[in-house]
Amino acid sequence: MLQQLRRLFYQVGLGMVLVSLCWLGAIAPAHSFNNPELLPAEPTNVVDLAQILTPVQKERLDSELAEFEAQTGWKLRVLTQYDRTPGLAVRDFWDLDDRSILLVADTRGGNLLNFNVGDTAYRVLQRTFWVELQTRFGNQYFVRDNGEDQAILQSLQAIETCLAQGGCRAVPGLPQEQWILTLATSIFGGIILGFVARPRRADQKVAWTWILLFSPLWGMLFFAFGLGPVVVRTQEWLPVLRNVAGFALGAIVAFLIPAPSEPPPVLEE
């Protein structure tokens, strides 16, 4: 669990860095390259200069992207690079437009994945989606455990799923480390609810006033950070039920824990 939490904190921190770089990129000078000689002579939807994909994977992905474009009109393209990049030459090679999404896998950086998104596609899948997609599948932990090829294939699958259904609020799928965090926040929210609900008077069974007073805190932990990330990423009921059970268990335990008794008074001689 410690390793999973480390991965989660790494992804969150990397996501914040990526957002900052997006803002800095708007004011930083751009240095463009144009090396069309690196591109193949025959048309293809996948240019694997870094040789990340196997020949079978490349052929299958090429046909899959062509079929997806014919069915939906969305143009997905893949470029992997290592030492040199074709740069701006890919625009003319693939005739990229507003309905185009270019996935660039560069093994030299800290994060494997980068995305060049057309204006129309960007309105369907907005900034938060691309930041989460990049941090989930392109981070060094995922690449180390699953391989660079799976980082490309699974991110493309998520893009295709969301484009086919007209957009997504978040990347589909709930990684285990992310679910563990939602479970922890649910339990913590329940603990807060249990403590504030404890009676303060002898004739009181539940402190409803304190429950309402602290509702923004335990409600945010349970609903916003406990259930929210789960329901927008998966339709499975099991993680939802587990978070609800964790919230209830935390509230019951905190409510039933006996309050520390006051020390007896010291009698003066």
DSSP result, 213-263: HTHHHHHIIIIIIIIHHHHTT---SHHHHHHHHHHHHHHHHHHHSPPPPPP
User: Residue 110 class from Cβ within 10 Å (0-12 exposed, 13-18 middle, 19+ buried)?
Assistant: exposed
Are the C-beta atoms of residues 156 and 103 closer than 8 Å to each other? yes
- The pLDDT of residue 177 is 82
pLDDT the model gives residue 103 = 97
What are the two backbone dihedrals, phi and then psi, of residue 47, each rounded to the nearest 5 degrees?
A: -115, 105
**pLDDT score, position 162:** 95
Q: Kind of pairing, strands 100-106 and 113-117?
A: antiparallel
pLDDT the model gives residue 193: 95
The secondary structure of the chain in percent helix, strand, coil, rounded to multiples of 5, reads: 60, 10, 35
Q: Residue-wise pLDDT tens for the chain (269 aa)?
A: 545 544 544 454 544 444 444 433 333 333 346 788 999 999 999 999 999 999 999 999 999 999 999 999 999 999 999 888 898 899 999 999 999 999 999 988 789 999 999 999 999 999 999 999 999 999 999 999 999 999 999 999 999 999 999 999 899 988 888 889 999 999 999 999 999 999 988 888 999 999 999 999 999 999 999 999 898 888 889 999 999 999 999 999 999 987 665 555 555 54
- pLDDT, residue 29, reads 35
Q: Residue 2: its pLDDT value, please? A: 46
